[in-house]
Structure 1
Amino acid sequence: MLNKRISLIALGMLSATQVMANDQAESKGFVEDSSLKVLLRNAYINRDKKDGNDDQREWGQAAIGTYTSGFTQGTVGVGVDAFGLYGLRLDRGSHSGGQGIDFFKEGDSGNPAGDLAKAGGAVKFRVSSTVLTYGDQMPVLPVLSYDNGRLLPESYTGTLITSKEIKGLELNAGRFTAESRKSAEGRDSAGLKSINVLGGSYQFTEQFKAALYASDVEDVLKKQYVNANYVFPIDKDQSLTLDFNGYRTKLDDSYVRESGATGDDNKIWSLAATFATGAHSFTLAHQRSTGDSNLGYPYGGYQKDQGRVGDGGNTIYLANSYWSDFNAEDERSWQLGYGLDFSTFGIPGLSYNFAYVRGDNITTSTSEGGTEREIFNQFKYVVQSGPAKDLSVKLRSSILRVSQKSSEYNSSGNEVRVFVDYPINIF
């Protein structure tokens, strides 16, 4: 049924009239609008686990090259996108590899690879302001969002249609049949059979935006997502933003039997209120998970070692997602957050973020009423000018403490992440 809906929507998108937006009419050409960029990334994550759990540590150097062409001129524009990825493992210690950090996948020997390389490409067609892309892609959608929070990014192979024919409205429909795991080579290294996605977002007014999406991961789950975001202007440099995000997930019967889940349904939502004044922002958020599935809110994951969910490691557009995602069965969590932009104090490019999140009411197969809490800190600096312009340094730390009742769901630890990204525009 979802396949049929995608086909009908694609037909409607591609038959849009010329009186609407027409990006293709402004095309400068295949070469004239093309770009080649290289991102050099040095990434380090260290997890000091508690309660007898094994520590984790990975360190790597990556080069991420992306080429994006323009579109040929004419009624139907044609173009190509391509990427090349290379990662070198710098930490050869005993704590490298393993689930969670996932810079380099462990092989059959139990040891992670010393390096990995892969490439991908896609062809794209544009009619008016509707683009059909087929091939290897990195989608950013609430129900399918690739993970770029490790050394190398994930990618997916398939078809995606994006339409912006009406001002403020974006529609997406797609089908992907392979997932390339961020820590492994090959186009189908994650066990995904297929995922269909459908939805869109609309900017109703300058202050109000909403989105509605759905996905179907073959033999795994069906998921729906809703978002509403409203910005209340208060003064020249003051505003209050309300942001609601919610998911409903229904696991397929075959996946319930295969995974050993105790139920098939999860609903999770978050509501965040952020007051911004000058250089400061203050956030209060609440998040709640309900349903009968002991998996809580399922997302991301790979075949065998991480549950084969297959919808991307960033597919969790929720307020209380840091090291822990606070997404256990029955979990309720609160967040107090603070942000500071140092440009007001004469240091442009430097920012700081803090969050304290506490979750309770966690249910596992052996207990009820478990708790967890996390203290999150992050400094980020982006070089503003000179030869190293746009180079960014991000230092992040988390202190996570999990009660004994919640140990089946999560584990305590101290985490440090250091990311240095240097983007280079070749042309």
Structure 2
Amino acid sequence: MKSSSYGAGFARSAKPLALLLGLAPLGAHAAFFEDAKANLTLRNFYYNHDLRDSTKPAQSKLEEWAQGFILKGESGYTEGTIGVGVDFYAGLGLKLDSSPSRSGTALLPGAYDRAGGPRNADPRSVDQFSEATAALKFKYSKSELKVGGLFPKIPLVSSGDARLLPQFFEGAMLDVKEIDNLDLSVGQMRQVNQREFAGARDIQVGNYYSVFSDRFNYLGGTWRITPQWSAGLWGGRLEDVYQQNLATVTHTQKLGDWNLSGTLNYLDTGESGAEKAGKLDSRMTSGMLSANLGPQTFRVGYQYNAGDSALPFIHDTDLPAAANAVQVLRFDRAQERSWQARYDLDFASLGVPGLVAFARYVKGDNFKVAGEDGSEWERNIDITYTVQDGPLKNLALRLRNVQLQGDATGRRDENRVILAYTLPLF
């Protein structure tokens, strides 16, 4: 049986916590246990990606089916000036269907030793894999420090969850909310568990796949200027690879029955330290306008990378600062500009509560492929139905379809079918 596992982060974090709880008075543990909660998510994932007309002829398609179990929990805090608690995560992935000719979907480890690298001589996906981690957390007033396994959701690094098991990091994060309407955050990520690899490893760079770093430092915050306006400033450095600075502004406005919103981001990225990825110049402006009326939401987005480099980012993470980074393509090539149109509909108003869907189209151009003008487009259709009551309440079925075509990628078609059920444990 081909399998793999990882749990060192859990062991490192759990031992100090056990010692602390053993030394603290029993009464101090009351809130620690009373405020604790945990849930188990069962995620069944089928993935099919047709490559027959793509620029990667080595495989005609990627196709795998797997079952995931995701256990997440968090305690309350011990009593006292500084409260202490713990968050924990454990994941198990099981292969249901795969073959060496179809592996590489990123649902399961085994096909590659690193993203963007050559396929392994034995590209079979593992039959099963597991992982676990935990984070100690400390709370003082309105500030919180977490050390250990982290699932960051900040503008410069947002852990991805688009496959069987989620991506997580090892590091430390401090969130400070002592000043009204001002949220500050500072942290360092040292290693990462990627969605398609078991075990912690150095941080890999998307778009520059041969490059790794052993730390990502960031500092930033968001200021809620008024109930309608907010602004953020963030800075991050992936050691010896890149330095990023992000400015973002968000506005919301009610106009009659309409709810309007807009976000504008400017992300400036250059090389750092030893310049492992070489000289970098990515200056990306992106924005999104949204108009909601009852069950319908209309969105338009624009993105332009004015630099001479594709956007470097931490591999597998989401890109909240890039409006047109969608299901497969990111539209982040050097000099690329792109437009997006999206329509969302909640079918509850049509008598089908629990059914939601959206359609999205993004078109990009103004970049070069082998010295020639290039263009690309991607169309997404996403449908989710969640059972509203009865014994299967909260069971969710999600269908995700993609068609894309570009001068750099060729034509691709992709389908994902995800069945998920979350069971509260306590």
The equivalent of 1:415 in structure 2 is 414
Match of 2:72 among 66, 69, 75: 66
TM normalised by structure 2 equals 0.84
The equivalent of 2:116 in structure 1 is none
The equivalent of 2:246 in structure 1 is 225
Match of 1:194 among 188, 212, 215: 215
> Displacement, 1:267?
1.1
The equivalent of 1:324 in structure 2 is 329
8 A contact 1:253–1:264 mirrored in 2: no
- Which 5+ residue runs of structure 1 have no aligned equivalent? 1-26, 302-311
The answer to whether residue 350 in structure 2 is matched with residue 345 in structure 1 is yes
Q: Which moved more, 1:111-120 or 1:122-131?
A: 111-120
TM normalised by structure 1 equals 0.84
Q: Which moved more, 1:123-132 or 1:238-247?
A: 238-247
Amino acid at match of 2:358: N
Output the CA distance in 2 between the equivalents of 1:349 and 1:372.
34
- Which 5+ residue runs of structure 2 have no aligned equivalent? 1-28, 114-119, 204-211
The equivalent of 1:426 in structure 2 is 425
Output the CA distance in 1 between the equivalents of 2:231 and 2:64.
38
The answer to whether residue 90 in structure 2 is matched with residue 91 in structure 1 is no
Output the CA distance in 2 between the equivalents of 1:384 and 1:213.
40
SS at match of 1:29: helix
Amino acid at match of 1:212: L
SS at match of 1:412: strand
Output the CA distance in 2 between the equivalents of 1:247 and 1:77.
36
SS at match of 1:177: strand
What do the CA deviations read for 1:234-271 (whole angstroms, capped 9, x no partner)?
11x3122111123111123644xx54x5x411011211
Output the CA distance in 2 between the equivalents of 1:189 and 1:84.
20
Amino acid at match of 1:222: Q
SS at match of 1:164: strand
The answer to whether residue 162 in structure 2 is matched with residue 149 in structure 1 is yes
The equivalent of 1:241 in structure 2 is 261
- The CA RMSD measured in Å over matched residues stands at 1.9
The equivalent of 1:12 in structure 2 is none
Output the CA distance in 2 between the equivalents of 1:351 and 1:76.
43
The equivalent of 1:305 in structure 2 is none
The answer to whether residue 145 in structure 2 is matched with residue 132 in structure 1 is yes
> Displacement, 1:316?
4.3
Amino acid at match of 1:287: Q
The equivalent of 1:251 in structure 2 is 271
**Alpha-carbon spacing, 1:218–1:52, altered in 2? closer, same or farther (3 Å):** closer
What do the CA deviations read for 1:2-31 (whole angstroms, capped 9, x no partner)?
xxxxxxxxxxxxxxxxxxxxxxxxx97100
Output the CA distance in 2 between the equivalents of 1:402 and 1:229.
32
Match of 2:304 among 280, 288, 305: 288
The equivalent of 1:8 in structure 2 is none
Output the CA distance in 1 between the equivalents of 2:181 and 2:101.
48
Output the CA distance in 1 between the equivalents of 2:381 and 2:65.
20
**Alpha-carbon spacing, 1:384–1:317, altered in 2? closer, same or farther (3 Å):** farther
**Alpha-carbon spacing, 1:185–1:231, altered in 2? closer, same or farther (3 Å):** same
The answer to whether residue 197 in structure 2 is matched with residue 178 in structure 1 is no
Output the CA distance in 2 between the equivalents of 1:249 and 1:201.
20
Output the CA distance in 1 between the equivalents of 2:174 and 2:37.
21
Amino acid at match of 1:426: L
The equivalent of 1:45 in structure 2 is 47
The percentage of aligned residue pairs carrying the same residue is 30
> Displacement, 1:136?
1.0
8 A contact 1:208–1:230 mirrored in 2: yes
Output the CA distance in 2 between the equivalents of 1:349 and 1:31.
33
Larger strand fraction of residues: 2
Output the CA distance in 1 between the equivalents of 2:199 and 2:412.
33
Aligned residue-pair number = 377
> Displacement, 1:384?
1.8
The answer to whether residue 290 in structure 2 is matched with residue 274 in structure 1 is yes
The equivalent of 1:384 in structure 2 is 388
Match of 1:116 among 124, 129, 135: 129
**Alpha-carbon spacing, 1:28–1:241, altered in 2? closer, same or farther (3 Å):** farther
The equivalent of 2:10 in structure 1 is none
The answer to whether residue 333 in structure 2 is matched with residue 334 in structure 1 is no
8 A contact 1:103–1:152 mirrored in 2: no
Amino acid at match of 1:415: E
SS at match of 1:104: coil
Amino acid at match of 1:184: F
> Displacement, 1:417?
1.2
